[in-house]
């Protein structure tokens, strides 16, 4: 049962690491609203939703054609609003990110 004893001696170390990670906190979900210009129809909405939605770190995308905006939630540290803006501009629209805000309850 040497294997089990070794595992037991590693347990305090594992706990320390877990606590350390806990101190740094869960990755925060952020919400940013981008003003988007140039959208004319549902295809535009779908294109932006698709392109932004497949970015690593993006959790949700809601594009509002009439309001000319996109609301994006993302994992802090995994992506920046500037990268979201770039992708929207790459496919032919103007985008201007507002202030990012932390989302209180994580969206699962
Ligand atoms: Cu369109």
Q: Which of the four CATH numbers 3.90.1310.10, 3.40.50.920, 3.40.1500.10, 3.30.70.100 does domain 29-102 have?
A: 3.30.70.100
Q: Where are the chain's structural domains? A: 29-102
Q: What is the pTM of this model?
A: 0.74
How many C-beta atoms lie closer than 10 Å to residue 10's C-beta? 10
User: 47 CA distance to ligand 1 centroid (A)?
Assistant: 8
d(CA 24, ligand 1 centre) in Å: 42
pLDDT at 26: 77
**Ligand 1 mean position, distance from CA 43 (Å):** 4
pLDDT in tens, the chain (108 residues): 555 565 566 555 554 445 455 555 778 999 999 999 999 999 999 999 999 999 999 999 999 999 999 999 999 999 999 999 999 999 999 999 999 999 986 555
Distance 20 CA to ligand 1 centre (A): 48
Task: Name residues whose C-beta falls within 8 Å of residue 93's C-beta, 6 or more positions apart in sequence.
Answer: 36, 37, 38, 39, 44, 48
pLDDT of residue 104: 83
């Amino acid at each position: 049962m040497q294997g089990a004893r070794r595992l037991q001696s590693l347990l305090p170390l594992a706990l320390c690491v877990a606590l350390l990670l806990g101190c740094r906190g869960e990755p925060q979900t952020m919400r940013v609203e981008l003003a988007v210009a140039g959208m004319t129809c549902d295809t535009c909405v779908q294109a932006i939703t698709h392109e932004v939605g497949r970015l690593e770190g993006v959790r949700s995308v809601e594009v509002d054609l009439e309001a000319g905006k996109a609301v994006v939630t993302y994992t802090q540290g995994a992506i920046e609003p500037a990268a979201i803006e770039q992708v929207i501009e790459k496919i032919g629209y103007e985008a201007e990110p507002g202030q990012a805000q932390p989302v209180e309850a994580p969206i699962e």
